[in-house]
Structure 1
Amino acid sequence: MDFMNLLRSAELLLYEVVSWLVFFPLTLWRCLRHPMAMIAYAEQELTRPPEEQFSEALSPPIFLFLTLMIAHMVQRGVLHNDAAFEGVLSDQRNLLILRAVAFSLFPLLLGIQHVRLSGQVLSRKTLRPMFYAQCYVTVPFVLMLDLAMMLGTLEPVWTGPTALAIFLLGLGWYAVALTRGFMIHRNTRLRQAMGQTALALVIGALCFFGVFALSLLSGPVTIGS
């Protein structure tokens, strides 16, 4: 009986992992093409029974983590360009978890802002749909930021300007998506929405770099290729 349960668990796990090959690019395309619809989709899906949620796309936290994992694998395996830490972060799994936590700060802060603007009391229940929704619009920015960072460390002269252009394109797309999200889903005016977006990006960036600065306390870091 235990062996059959193990086989069923392996069957479900295998199907889930293989299905990511289809739903990861599909979810990414939908986030790039219709970010506002994906925000609404995430909030609506959490009102459904757990077994019926996100049947047409990847779950937002899984989507974000897979994006970071793919970027991490490309950086180390293809470009052979990575940071070598000592201490706790010498383990690449811990480094990947740190990156996931650092990038998750953006949807977390944005989720808190959306809860506050919606007039709800901040709790785990009210924050979850807002956090999930913001994960969707954060992924394209994370992907372009990672691509820009990888290109910026390469030797050819053209990679520097290209990395900067990709970063600015990603930042511009993200800022527009967040501004529209505040206006459409929280009924804020353009000026207030732009202010909320700027606040989220500044605080998110400070927290992001703060997390990595604290991680350096575990040991020195060197950049290798």
Structure 2
Amino acid sequence: MDFLKLLRSLEEFLYELCTWFLFFPRTLYRVIVHPRRMAQYVNTELTQKLERQFDDAISPPMFLMLAVLVAHGVELLMHQTVVGTSDLSRSVLGNEESLLLFRSITFAIWPLVATVHLLRRKRVPMTRESLRRPFFMQCYLTAPFAVALSTSMVFVRLPGQLSTTIGLASSAVAAAWFIAVQAGWLKVALQRSWLNTVLSTLWVFALGTAINVMVGFVLLGS
């Protein structure tokens, strides 16, 4: 009986894995081309029953984690490895599972900062329920940035001036896209002037970046 349960679990996992190959590039394309529409899509899906939510796409947190996984796959294809320089960094970066979890959390910092900023500006109490909707939207909007930025850093670390230039240019384009998308999202969500929206966008991006830089400094410097 336990063996049959195991087989059914493996069957479900295999099916889910295969759907990722179909829905990940489809969802990525939809987010890049229609970011505002995908944010509204989250609104619609979260009103559905749990088993029907995100039935034609990948759920936002899983989508962000898969984006990190895809970028890590590019890193492995380019024969690059991340090596810790201290006991703490080696324990975090020393195996694939910890490394992917760490990177997923670092990229999730931006959705969390944007969500908290939105709720504070709208004076909405922070609860699990109030955080869920904007955080899910932000996970969708952050995933393309995660793929592009992580992949561009692979090229930056490669030897040669050309690869470094390509990597830096790609990261600049990724950051510009992300900031523009964030500005559009905050403009609709906050209903403020464009000047106020741009300032909020830069604050969210800068604070998320500062937190990640600080975490990286602690990790590598300890």
TM-score normalised over the length of structure 2 = 0.92
- Count, aligned residues: 217
2:204 is aligned to 200
The alignment partner of 1:82 has SS state of: coil
Are the equivalent residues in 2 in contact too, given 1:112–1:130 (CA < 8 A)? Answer: no
- Partners of 1:217 and 1:155 lie apart in 2 by 24
Are the equivalent residues in 2 in contact too, given 1:43–1:132 (CA < 8 A)? Answer: no
1:84 is aligned to 83
1:167 is aligned to 171
Are the equivalent residues in 2 in contact too, given 1:107–1:131 (CA < 8 A)? Answer: yes
Give 1:39 shift: 1.0
2:116 is aligned to 112
Sequence identity percentage: 31
1:188 is aligned to 192
Of 37-46 and 84-93, the range deviating more from structure 2: 84-93
List gaps (5 residues or longer) in structure 2: none
The alignment partner of 2:48 has SS state of: coil
1:130-173 deviation digits (Å, cap 9, x = unpaired):
11100111111111111211111112321122112111111111
- Partners of 1:191 and 1:141 lie apart in 2 by 23
- Partners of 1:197 and 1:88 lie apart in 2 by 34
Of the three residues 183, 187, 211, the one matched with 1:179 is 183
Q: CA RMSD in A?
A: 1.5
The alignment partner of 2:55 has SS state of: coil
Are the equivalent residues in 2 in contact too, given 1:31–1:136 (CA < 8 A)? Answer: yes
AA of the residue aligned to 1:84 = V
Of 15-24 and 93-102, the range deviating more from structure 2: 93-102
AA of the residue aligned to 2:80 = N
AA of the residue aligned to 1:13 = F
- Partners of 1:213 and 1:69 lie apart in 2 by 23
The alignment partner of 1:175 has SS state of: helix
- Partners of 1:106 and 1:168 lie apart in 2 by 17
List gaps (5 residues or longer) in structure 1: 219-225
Of the three residues 135, 138, 148, the one matched with 2:139 is 135
- Partners of 2:33 and 2:189 lie apart in 1 by 17
Give 1:104 shift: 0.6
TM-score normalised over the length of structure 1 = 0.91
Give 1:217 shift: 5.4
